[in-house]
Structure 1
Amino acid sequence: MFLIYRLATVSHRSRVFVAIEVNGTLYELAAAYEAFKAARGRHDFFKARHNYSMLDLLEEWDLFDAVLDEVAAFLVEPGTDTSAYAYAEDEVSFLPPVYYPDKVLNAGSNFYDHSKEMGAAPPDTETQEPYFFYKGRKETLIGHGDSVRLTPRSGYVDWEAEIAVVIGRKAKRVDRKDAYNYVAGYTCYNDVSARDRMRRSNETFDYDWFSNKGNDTFGPIGPYILPRKFMPDMSDINIKCIHNGDVVQSFSTKNIIFDIPRLIETASSVTTLTPGDVIACGTGAGAGMAHGIKVGWNEMHKVFEHMYAGKARLLNAGDTIAVEIDGIGRLENKVVAATSEKLK
């Protein structure tokens, strides 16, 4: 039986490092690995380096995945002195766990219950493919405990709790039956969205995913990556979103339209997936803009009318928004006011 552990990228006194979390304690991975080797008389079969970034681990995931089980067990053995490299959660700051991925792909409208609440007819999985959009990396992704900064371009900012896949092997034209072999693990994700920037009525293109989804800080992610082997069955994973203490989303992956293997198959048929890439799987029912209204198929316009009438539940400065996924963890962020300051 494996000892369950999770991985994170954290900073402590301005020093950034990968941590392995076991039983609620964070350990600096590079130091823990050195201590493990010394105790076991093991040779270093990885590239010599003073530290490991998450991308370093993921690029050699097949090797690290095996040895991390042993390191985790070593850390909790009686007599192991970890005082020089052990931290409590409140002693560190969390960064995006992959700091930074090459690509962040987001599956749009990928849960039946969310499609229903938005009045959007779901796609036919036999004849259609998943819909993806890109989200930014360095300016968009933020870690657990960081702040979502509202944008002056929108007064209707919403949440979308999601589970995200972290890729662990280079993947191109992967068949869905083999797709899980390319997954390193899973993490929490919040696809923060500027709803009034979603549609451009009477313009050349109806949808503006860039202005809707691509704002700075609109991609909270983390704090942990749970290795795939600890969550082998993805058919019924519960995902929650908590807004100011109220559970506003509670849904399951059993309502997903295109499952994870199908997402990987389609994405890898278009672009080469590389270790560290993130695929966010979409959100379920409970989006703030649809709070307090029920509509039929093809009645999305009524959801917008409802929102513009001030009846939706949306994000405001001072709010707290969190994503919780069974077995993976809790991602929590504060919301702060927009700023019009220019960078110099």
Structure 2
Amino acid sequence: MHLVTFLHEGRATVGIADQALTQVSPLPRDVAPDMIALIANFDSLKGTLTASAGAPLPIASVELLAPIPRPARNVFCVGKNYHEHAKEFAGSGFDSSAKEVVPEAPVIFTKPSSTVIGSGKSIPNYLDPTDSTDYEGELTVVIGLGGRGIKKQDALAHVFGYTIINDVTARTLQHKHRQWFIGKGIDGFCPMGPAILTADEMPDPTKMRLTTSVNGERRQDASVTDLIFDIPTLIETLSAGITLEPGDLIATGTPAGVGLGFTPPRFLKKGDVVTIEVSGIGKLENPVG
């Protein structure tokens, strides 16, 4: 099932989209007041969701929002989680976080919920005073069943579904402040969407592939099997001391091919269009403003 959030009759509405994301059927607000509420109650609702949905609307006729327009908590993110990107970042001159190339344990940081925007919205490059805005396409886990102390062997049972995030980064600020929060926490620097693909339609996330293009030029192309720390490991690591909650988001890291990896770096400019696609989920596309 593909679930989206969109503006309908002036309000944010949750809906069920078709696989091609060409139409969406709105869900009644007493069934799904918002995406987080739907996730929290999905097990009891899923058998009746399709029957309760309204008449389909063309997606082209509505305004898509991020699937979770305002996450309840910061987005959990994982740095340097693909081997080739870890090497790329280490050799770029922008990595001030650690001396090792490949991390010994997951590198976790967060992006504030105010960074989240939907597919089609402009990435506000003008808010980066250093003009070093970069893209990072990432498969993102959406937590369903919450919990603390989740073991790897049980982790996928806690996954509600998957979406796409662009972990947009002001590289100079990321380097200057050592920790990454300021460089990655700028308003609008977390495009998300276009939909959440429920986990029952993707029981093995390692079969997914991620690609990123800028102005139609392929920059990133990697299989989820290339992750240094896989999804169960990330869930176990985070939940060891942090209780995960329904609707929490874990951006799993980006593969090689980001702008800083080129010589000279190829940072985003006004008018560029970034398109990230993950097999089964759809395309997250945002212009740069």
> Is TM-score (shorter-chain normalized) higher than 0.5?
yes
Identity %: 36
CA shift, 1:321, in A, is 0.8
Quote the Cα distance in structure 2 between the aligned partners of 1:247 and 1:12: 34
Contact 2:111-2:184 within 8 A present in 1 as well = yes
Partner residue of 1:115?
86
**Structure 1: 5+ residue runs without aligned partners?**
32-48, 76-81, 201-205, 293-310, 337-344
Quote the Cα distance in structure 2 between the aligned partners of 1:50 and 1:282: 33
Mapping for residues 183-198 of structure 1, pairs under 5 Å = 183-198=159-174
CA shift, 1:65, in A, is 3.5
Mapping for residues 43-192 of structure 1, pairs under 5 Å = 49=30, 51-68=32-49, 71=50, 85-103=55-73, 104-119=75-90, 121-124=101-104, 129-137=105-113, 139-150=114-125, 151-192=127-168
Quote the Cα distance in structure 1 between the aligned partners of 2:4 and 2:130: 32
Partner residue of 1:340?
none
Partner residue of 2:24?
26
Q: CA RMSD in A?
A: 1.8
CA shift, 1:50, in A, is 6.7
Runs of 4+ displaced beyond 3 Å:
65-68
Partner residue of 2:96?
none
Question: 1 or 2, which has the higher strand percentage?
Answer: 2
CA shift, 1:319, in A, is 1.0
Q: Which moved more, 1:216-225 or 1:17-26?
A: 17-26
Q: Does 1:232 align with 2:168?
A: no
Contact 2:24-2:58 within 8 A present in 1 as well = yes
The CA deviation string for residues 117-142 of structure 1, in whole angstroms up to 9 with x for no partner, is 22361123xxxx311111010x2000
Q: Which moved more, 1:57-66 or 1:234-243?
A: 57-66
Partner residue of 1:79?
none
Partner residue of 1:316?
269
Q: Which amino acid aligns with 1:282?
A: G
Q: Does 1:250 align with 2:228?
A: no
Contact 1:184-1:227 within 8 A present in 2 as well = yes
Q: Which amino acid aligns with 2:45?
A: F
Partner residue of 1:265?
236
CA shift, 1:30, in A, is 1.8
Quote the Cα distance in structure 1 between the aligned partners of 2:47 and 2:25: 18
Quote the Cα distance in structure 1 between the aligned partners of 2:199 and 2:131: 38
CA shift, 1:64, in A, is 2.6
CA shift, 1:216, in A, is 0.5
Larger Rg: 1
Contact 1:198-1:211 within 8 A present in 2 as well = yes
CA shift, 1:326, in A, is 0.6
CA shift, 1:87, in A, is 1.1
The CA deviation string for residues 261-305 of structure 1, in whole angstroms up to 9 with x for no partner, is 01011111131111011000000010111124xxxxxxxxxxxxx
- State the aligned residue count: 276
Q: Structure 1 residues 51 and 115 mapped into 2: Cα distance closer, same or farther (>3 Å)?
A: closer
Quote the Cα distance in structure 2 between the aligned partners of 1:217 and 1:270: 29
Quote the Cα distance in structure 1 between the aligned partners of 2:260 and 2:81: 17
Partner residue of 1:9?
5
State the SS of the aligned residue for 2:28.
helix
Q: Structure 1 residues 229 and 216 mapped into 2: Cα distance closer, same or farther (>3 Å)?
A: same
Quote the Cα distance in structure 1 between the aligned partners of 2:144 and 2:128: 37
Partner residue of 1:38?
none
Q: Structure 1 residues 65 and 51 mapped into 2: Cα distance closer, same or farther (>3 Å)?
A: closer
Q: Which amino acid aligns with 1:14?
A: G
State the SS of the aligned residue for 1:147.
coil
**Structure 2: 5+ residue runs without aligned partners?**
91-99
CA shift, 1:189, in A, is 0.7
Q: TM-score, normalised by structure 1?
A: 0.76
CA shift, 1:236, in A, is 3.4
Q: Which amino acid aligns with 2:15?
A: A
Contact 1:197-1:208 within 8 A present in 2 as well = no
